[in-house]
Amino acid sequence: MQHFTIATVAEESADFRRVLWTGQHSQLVIMTIPPGGEIGDEVHEENDQILTFVSGTGEARVDGEVREVAQGDLVAVPAGTRHNFVNTGVNPLILYTVYGPPEHSDGTVHHTKKEADLAEEHS
């Protein structure tokens, strides 16, 4: 069994993306988006995604809709849906997300968005 105090683990990581656990059908990832930063406009054709916000403030931009997000909010993004999450606050926007099926290689760590973008270009 894997056990996480997820809010604590997420807040202790300064990495843009860190895969915590990968199963056969789903994956747990924590993310830290710096002030003024964003995940980036994307579509996961094969993956549903559930994002839960631990701290900070931002905007969820999903399928043309824009909503504010903050601690305690959860956003579900069905496979094939264009989405982006933007930090609109002065503190990091910290979240954890569950992908189904897994999206990233097990153990992936991207310290910055630039590093994540480079890795995705080469995959």
Q: How far does CA 64 lie from the centroid of its chain?
A: 19
Confidence of residue 1 (pLDDT cuts 50, 70, 90): confident
Q: How high is the pLDDT of residue 117?
A: 82
In whole angstroms, give the CA distance from residue 54 to residue 5.
12
Contact 34, 89 (CB under 8 A): no
pLDDT over 70 for what percent of the chain?
99
| pTM (2 d.p.) | 0.90
Q: Which range among 11-15, 89-93, 98-102 has the greatest average pLDDT?
A: 89-93
Which residue ranges form the domains of the chain, and what is each CATH number? Answer: 6-121 (2.60.120.10)
The SS3 call for residue 45 is: coil
2-40: per-residue pLDDT in tens?
898 988 998 899 999 999 999 999 999 999 999 999 999
Contact 47, 99 (CB under 8 A): yes
In whole angstroms, give the CA distance from residue 28 to residue 93.
17
Long-range contacts of 65-70 (CB under 8 A, 24+ apart): 69/93
Kind and range of the H or E run holding 114? helix 113-121
